[in-house]
Amino acid sequence: MTELAEKFRRIHSTPAYQLVAEAIEKRILSGGIRPGEPIGTEAELVKQFGVNRSTVREGIRLLEHDGIIQRQSNRRLAVSLPHYDRLASRTTRAMVLHEVTFRELYEAAMALQLATIEGAALRATPAMLEAMQDNIERTAQVLGDAAAVAALDSEFHAMIGKASGNRVLQLAREPSDLLVYPTTKLILSKVKEGAPRLLQAHRMLLEAIRGGDVEAGRLWARRHLNDWRKGFERSGNDLDQPIAGIYLREGLTSPS
Amino acid sequence: MTELAEKFRRIHSTPAYQLVAEAIEKRILSGGIRPGEPIGTEAELVKQFGVNRSTVREGIRLLEHDGIIQRQSNRRLAVSLPHYDRLASRTTRAMVLHEVTFRELYEAAMALQLATIEGAALRATPAMLEAMQDNIERTAQVLGDAAAVAALDSEFHAMIGKASGNRVLQLAREPSDLLVYPTTKLILSKVKEGAPRLLQAHRMLLEAIRGGDVEAGRLWARRHLNDWRKGFERSGNDLDQPIAGIYLREGLTSPS
DNA sequence: TGTGTCGGATTGTCGGACGATATTTCGTCC
DNA sequence: GGACGAAATATCGTCCGACAATCCGACACA
């Protein structure tokens, strides 16, 4: 090959449907259309952009998929706030495909939990505390049922996330949670003393949050997650295995 | 209306294009088709699913948008690993729409930075260290240019992320980084002593990582981010303002 | 070996169409 | 005049068929 004196930028023509999506997205992000406001029917967009309806449809599908627009009961399109679940499940998918290991998950979850607990201890509202208390009571009543306890555990941690009052943290945590807590069911069904320990940890966490005791919160969060790790290993799993296997076995969590 | 004794679950037929997307996605996630392998042409998918090409196209657009399939030079569709940037920019977008505040960002970034530094101190490879050293030297040479320093700062932190060897952490961090570091430019151009302090922090961080000194790493990461916060406030901004404003003013970072 | 040409395959875009639903309009009846 | 129900309308999901642009591979040619 002869050496190129001047390198040319790679030619890249953007297809029309992407331009449509980007145009709408830009308008939304810049605040031109606020969440809840209608975005116009397909026919109107066809007229405005001067492209075929098929093209418009391919474009809006992308935004719809991202959750920044939504069809309301009218069937008309309206701007909406993307819900966390949606993003989390995407990220989770990426993690599966990238074959990240449980160790990576554990490490990240630890950092995020500690920060979340801290936020919750400082900012939890009485209503949140009450909801968590309720969750704990329900957990106590189904202590023998691994699946039920796992589900309540997941709910409990989601509550802490909400109570932290930090949506960035919540957004960062959710994908990991989506992977960590499903394995809890697996662990609880194999490790007998798991459920009582989990309940005890939840109780102490709530107490710490209620008292605004950051240090106690961090301590128990650490213990709680370490319990998870020990249980994970004791139930015959290796922290360095990729998450894909278990994740698939447990079934995909597809939020509609 | 007569009262319904039994409430029926709301009927909800999933549109065909979504079914197409889900079917392909499931096959990919379960490992049926590995990254790099072709997925078939549109015509083939039309035959297999028994729906119209328009419908197939709407379906594959979604997966293509998520980055789990890609068109290769053949124009044929192939499975691919979703790149982090793509997810990060989605998440960033969500943060803007949800009007999260800089304080939330700061808090989350702090937790994630500390964890990342820790991982990097334990696992950074010589090649990564060298790249970081190079970044520092380049930074020293453009110390007067706020934009250049900010870009190199962003690069430096991306390197730490990679060096941490924890992809979950990286995935969690990237969206915050995408929002924190752009504001660095703003800060550096208003706070004179910012650039030298930033450089100093980078030097100490690298030293800590090189020496595997976790505590020093955490210390300097904390200082570094606190500098960012102080600079942010000193340049006339309020931590409790939503990120939307500045983010838009600085322009959208649209990858690809 | 490197270059022009041709045919087939595939995609991006288009125009038009139909049935199913939800919304609106409007006439009827009290 | 207002409530009610039916008809007209709007909108979406899906389908069909079509065309140009582009890419790939093969083949001839220098």
Binned at pLDDT 50, 70 and 90, residue A126 comes out as very high
Model pLDDT, residue B210 = 93
CA distances from B155 to B117, B238, B250 (A): 15, 26, 18
- pLDDT of A252 above 50: no
Mean pLDDT of all residues belonging to chain A: 87
Cα gap B60→B69, rounded to integer Å: 8
Residue A34 to residue A41: CA distance in whole angstroms: 16
* Hits for CB < 7 Å against strand D across B residues 180-209: none
User: Predicted confidence band at A75 (pLDDT cuts at 50, 70, 90)?
Assistant: confident
**Predicted confidence (pLDDT) per residue in B75-108, tens digit:** 788 999 998 888 888 898 899 889 999 999 999 9
* Cβ–Cβ below 8 Å for A26 and B98: no
Where residue B181 falls among pLDDT bands split at 50, 70, 90?
Answer: confident
Chain B residues with CB inside 8 Å of A16's CB? Answer: none
The CA distance from A82 to the nearest CA of chain B, in Å, is 6
**Nearest chain B Cα to A180, which residue?**
B168
What is the distance in angstroms measured between the alpha-carbon CA of B26 and the sugar C1' of D19? 34
> What was the pLDDT predicted at A68?
92
pLDDT at B109 over 60: yes
pLDDT band at B14 (very low <50, low <70, confident <90, very high): confident
* Highest mean pLDDT (candidates A88-92, A184-188, A215-219): A215-219
**Residue type for position A144:** G
- In chain A, beta strands by DSSP E: 69-71, 77-79
B166 interaction partners in chain A (CB closer than 8 Å): 104, 107-108
Question: Which residues 6+ apart lie within 8 Å of B202 measured at CB?
Answer: B132, B135, B136, B139, B153, B156, B224
Band of residue A1 on the pLDDT scale cut at 50, 70, 90 = very low
Tokens encoding B8: 């029926």
The total of other beta-carbon atoms located within 10 Å of residue A244's CB is 18
**pLDDT tens, A241-250?**
998 766 665 5
pLDDT at A50 over 60: yes
Q: Which positions in chain A touch B168 (Cβ < 8 Å)?
A: 95, 100, 104-105, 107-109, 175-176
Cα separation, A72 vs A78, whole angstroms: 7
pLDDT at B253 over 50: no
Average of per-residue pLDDT values in chain B: 86
| pLDDT, tens digit, 9 for 90 and up, residues B112-142 | 999 999 999 999 999 999 999 999 999 999 9
- For the segment A6-27, the average pLDDT, to the nearest whole number, is 82
Q: What is the mean pLDDT of residues B48-67?
A: 92
pLDDT at residue B8 greater than cutoff 60: no
Of A54, A82, A168, the CB nearest to B105: A168
